[in-house]
Amino acid sequence: MSSIHSHSQSNSVPFSKEKGKVRLSYFLARRIYRDTDGGKQVSRPAVLIAMIGIAIGLAVMIIAVSVVIGFKSEVRNKVIGFGSHIQISNFDAVGSYETHPVVVDDSMMIALSARPEVKHVQRYSTKPGMIKTDDAFQGMVLKGVGPEFDPAFFRDHLVEGEIPVFSDTASTNQVVISKAIADRLKLKLGDKIYAYFIQKDVRARRLTVKGIYQTNFSEYDNLFLLTDLYLVNRLNNWAPGQVSGAELQVRDYDKLEDITYGIAVDTDNKQDVYGGTYYVQSIEQMNPQIFAWLDLLDLNVWVILILMIGVAGFTMISGLLIIILERTQMIGILKALGANDFTIRKVFLWFSVFLIGKGMLWGNAIGITFCVLQSQLGLFKLDPETYYVSMVPVSMNIWLFLLINAGTLLASVLMLVGPSYLITKINPASSMRYE
């Protein structure tokens, strides 16, 4: 007994040093991880299931976050493409395409463009009407834009033809229509269409199809035709300088609310020379239903993240408990040699980190591979009438992926701290007779 006692004392010295404890914990964890002993057959399926749980959970989280961010970005960009970030219009015309005019002259354009947070300013005018062909007719909104119009959005979604240079001093009678309208009315490039506008007297215009776009955003694709600002202003019988409003693009979307407020302070409730009252709205204020729906997707992502981390954590807990029970004799020997509970717990926590790391490696490989394939090949299609996009969109953000990985690792390890207390209940004397 005295020899055993002295042996125990001599071996307890390294355990009293923190550095030695860390090294020992790490070393033993590596040995257990690399152990190929054929007698430990129970733990192998448990370890495999735990790693698969981590891999699947992380892959699902990466895919879910990428898809939701991609979807939100696609829908948001399309709404902004049709209406810009901020609109300044007449207070009396809010929510209607049959608008009341306000004056947006050169001085106002210069003043708005001079703001450092504003990227681009353009005028617009709208006029509801109807297109008629020999066989069918279609309600629409004619949107007039001037030479300062930024065609980038429509050019990106152009299917056929081109975006003409629009004018505010003359009418070319050229229009850009959506593919949805073109298909419904059996129109193609170069076709002449008759547009009718109902007011005190019915007006008609003969327009030429110059370009065809497709955004798959049916709410707007079925509605808007682009043409010259001059034409729409003439149809509305407006005075020079009067338009439906101004559209502003901002440099930083994250500051949209603050920028809108700043412009509203300087512009809201002021009147032009004809008595029109200016009113400033952001794209989120103009489309509250769409953006509320997009915000709801964030909640869905959080639910998925919590569920996946929970599933991965519980599979790891099951695996860890099985491994601890199988290593009861080893734990007893370590305790007999002087190792404290905390040191032994660290052995199994290190072991868990190795398993989690391997599972995360496979999870990243699966998740990122899916995102790359989907973005390049568009394997999974969607109904654009319902989802506003023709395929599942993905947006890959490396910093977000790193954050998900760090969160998964941290949450999984913290969930294992509690079960590792089982080690404190193991008695060295009885455990050494365990097998």
DSSP-derived 3-state class of residue 167: coil
Residue 249 amino acid letter: Q
DSSP-derived 3-state class of residue 255: helix
Chain segment 35-87, per-residue pLDDT in tens: 644 445 446 777 788 888 889 989 999 999 999 999 988 889 999 999 899 99
What's the pLDDT at 428?
63
Q: How confident is the model at residue 2 (pLDDT cuts 50, 70, 90)?
A: very low
pLDDT at 112 over 80: yes
What's the pLDDT at 426?
67
| Rounded CA separation 259/280 (Å) | 11
| Rounded CA separation 208/112 (Å) | 34
DSSP-derived 3-state class of residue 241: coil
Bridge partners, residue 175, by sequence: 209
DSSP-derived 3-state class of residue 404: helix
Q: Is the dihedral of CA 250, 153, 65, 370 positive or negative?
A: negative
Q: Choose among 175, 162, 164, 160: nearest CA to 214.
A: 160
Chain segment 300-341, per-residue pLDDT in tens: 888 888 888 888 888 888 877 777 777 777 777 777 777 777
Q: Which of 42-46, 184-188, 198-202, 286-290 is predicted with the least confidence, judged by mean pLDDT?
A: 42-46
What's the pLDDT at 22?
59
Tokens at 206, concatenated: 């003969």
| Rounded CA separation 290/283 (Å) | 10
What's the pLDDT at 429?
56
| Rounded CA separation 272/374 (Å) | 51
Whether the CB-CB separation of 146 and 168 falls below 8 Å is answered with: yes
Chain segment 239-273, per-residue pLDDT in tens: 989 999 999 999 999 999 999 999 999 888 888 89
pLDDT at 140 over 80: yes
First and final CA of the chain: distance in angstroms?
23
Q: Is 149 exposed, middle or buried (0-12, 13-18, 19+ CB in 10 A)?
A: buried
pLDDT at 408 over 70: yes
